[in-house]
Every structure is written in C-alpha cells, then in structure tokens.
Amino acid sequence: MSLTNATTFECPYCMTINDLEVDEVYDIDQTQIVDCQICCQPIVVTVTQNDGEIYVHADVENE
C-alpha cells in the first residue's frame, strides 16, 4: 500500500506540467520549494486537502 499520490502542477515560469508525489500523512498543509523539472526555476508548492481531494498550488518564489 502506497501512502503517496502522484499529482501534477503547472510551473508558473514556463507553464510546463510537473509531476509531484504527495505523502497524504506528511505533505498536507505543508509548503515546500521544488525546482521545475524543465526550466529548473524554484517553485513554492503548497499542498492542501479538501473533502478528500488533494490540491497543489504552485507560485513563484519571492527572493
């Protein structure tokens, strides 16, 4: 049994779809910085859950 779910999000820089493994135990309501799999820009990713559905919000990193 896997505790992770495969999901996708769009890079806010190059608009490419990126893959993300979300751990339902540890990643919900967390924010992390991941690099785009294509353009390598840093993306602030926030994972939330509502009514059993997992949502990923991706935004540019403010330096």
How confident is the model over 1-55, as pLDDT tens digits?
568 899 999 999 999 999 999 998 899 999 999 999 999 999 999 999 999 899 9
pLDDT at 2: 67
13 vs 42: CA distance, rounded Å: 9
Q: Assign 3-class secondary structure to 16-40.
A: CEEEEEEECCCCCCEEEEEECCCCC
Could you tell me if 24 and 7 are in contact, meaning their C-beta atoms sit under 8 angstroms apart? no
Residue range(s) defining the domain that contains residue 50: 4-60
Long-range CB pairs of 36-40 (<8 Å, 24+ gap) are 36/11, 38/11, 38/14, 39/11, 39/13, 39/14
Q: How many domains does the chain have?
A: 1
| Residue whose pair of structure tokens reads 């799999």 in the numeric block | 37
pLDDT at 63: 63
